[in-house]
Amino acid sequence: MNRTLIRKAGILAIIPILVFLGAFLASAEASGVLIRNGNPGGKILGSLDLQPSGMIDLASIMDLFKLRASMDLMGDRMDVVGQSGSCRLLAGSPLVLSRGLFALLSAPVRFSGAGLSVPLDFLTKGLPGLTGRFMEMDAANSILTVGNPGTGVFSGEKAEGLTRLASFIQRDQYVPEKILNPAPKGLSVVVLDPGHGGRSIGAKGSSGTTEKALVLSVAEKLRRRLEESLGIKVILTRTADYFVGLKERTAIANNNNADLFISIHANAAFRREVDGIETYYLSLGSGDARAMEYARVENEALGLKGGPEDEALLEAILWDMAQTSFISQSRDAAALIQESLVAGLKGNDRGVRQAPLAVLMGARMPAVLAEIGFISNPEQEIKLNRESYQEEVARALYNAIEQYHRGLLRGEIQGGRP
């Protein structure tokens, strides 16, 4: 066989391969993103379909890169786990969180069918930290090149920068004027959370009074007042002596579209003479050392190990601060509750404070924690044990909630939910 024939035979053999590869590339380019290995030879790993909106189905990314995921109780927060790390996504937010750092995507994560869809730049911002492989996108040709193992890490900003971005996390979503500036609306649903319960007794007084029993009694009295006088729906996170997990407490409020969440507690201190009333709302951190120590003790009592500096807790706080627009309303509610309790009970005013309290995390409405007194103070314990005094506490809390409700109706307080 002469050289010409050999050359022709070689060309004829290559043509089908080129035709096949060309068809594959054309198909991948038409339908989405082609994924290839960055090693010499550039082996094709697969492709990802692009939705008409330009988003990619997260499930298809997980299948291709062998990732795992779990959705939280509220169905809008997803943790994605790979061989080299994990990240957290939230429907409606363009943030990706991982190990105390965050990256900002070009568009918010969205629900699509039964799952989530992510923007194209998730491939280069989120995937490297999950797979441990460098990712480079050729946007012109819709090709993602995947690097060798050990070449990729999650590249994000530190936690301190998150609050700077919180005000425009929904910048890519059109919000109708009527939703942006809703008509004034009062409270429809209030969720009361009697702290602790079951195996978690909370604080205990020298005469044996337990926080879990005391706050349940106050919550029941408050519920009756709210239902009878304001005619609003009131839900208790627990109605007897049993334990409710931290996530379940705010999930109850979220699932019932609550307008206000109030967690009721009784305080304690090593020094028996300490007394007074204080009210808390959620914050990323606090310059107040006492508030931070209080948050550490309270979180541990409710089953969350580790202090506010704990990485998992920090990430949860960051997420809630980024996606929640209720901090100012929570501050308003906390101020009204504190003022009403101090005036109604003639108690020592210990002020309104901010702290990273786990029980308030995840609430999609204004959320407040009220400490109605120090059960460790013998004199205050005696008062708190009296039915008549518990009625006074309930009345003071009711007065604050009524003021908040009237403020919403008058438009003086912006509602937490459209």
Question: What values do phi and psi take at 185, rounded to 5?
Answer: -145, 130
**pLDDT given for residue 413 in this prediction:** 84
Q: What is the pLDDT of residues 322-380, one digit of tens each?
A: 445 688 889 999 999 999 999 999 999 999 988 878 788 778 889 999 999 999 999 99
Q: How confident is the model at residue 290 (pLDDT cuts 50, 70, 90)?
A: low
Class of domain 3-168: alpha beta
**Given a cut of 80, is residue 272 above it in pLDDT?**
yes
380: its two tokens: 């205050």
**pLDDT given for residue 297 in this prediction:** 65
Query: At residue 241, what is the residue type?
Result: D
Mean of pLDDT values over 91-110: 83
Question: What values do phi and psi take at 386, rounded to 5?
Answer: -80, 135
Share of the chain above pLDDT 70, in %: 74
Whole-model pTM? 0.65
**Given a cut of 50, is residue 19 above it in pLDDT?**
no
**Given a cut of 60, is residue 319 above it in pLDDT?**
no
How far apart CA 119 and CA 56 sit, in angstroms, is 6
- The DSSP output letter for 50 is P
Q: Which CATH number fits domain 177-410: 3.40.50.1460, 3.40.710.10, 3.40.630.40, 1.20.1070.10?
A: 3.40.630.40
Give the HSE-up count for residue 324: Cα atoms under 13 Å, Cβ half-sphere: 24
By three-state DSSP, how is residue 327 classified? Answer: helix
Label the pairing between strands 86-90 and 95-98: antiparallel
Share of the chain above pLDDT 90, in %: 49
Q: What is the pLDDT of residues 172-213, one digit of tens each?
A: 333 444 444 556 789 999 999 999 999 999 999 999 999 999
Nearest to 223 by CA among 194, 252, 186: 194
371: its two tokens: 């400490």
Q: What is the pLDDT of residues 379-396, one digit of tens each?
A: 999 999 999 999 999 999
Nearest to 362 by CA among 249, 234, 233: 249
Mean of pLDDT values over 6-19: 43
Q: What is the pLDDT of residues 44-88, one digit of tens each?
A: 899 999 998 889 999 999 999 999 988 765 566 788 999 999 988
How far apart CA 240 and CA 252 sit, in angstroms, is 16
Query: At residue 48, what is the residue type?
Result: L
- The DSSP output letter for 184 is P
**pLDDT given for residue 176 in this prediction:** 45
Residue with more model confidence, 175 or 132: 132
Task: Indicate the domain borders of the chain.
Answer: 3-168, 177-410
331: its two tokens: 């501050």
Per CATH, 3-168 and 177-410 having the same topology is answered no
DSSP character string of 220-280: HHHHHHIIIII--EEEES-SSS----HHHHHHHHHHTT-SEEEEEEEE--SSTT---EEEE
pLDDT averaged over the chain?
Answer: 81
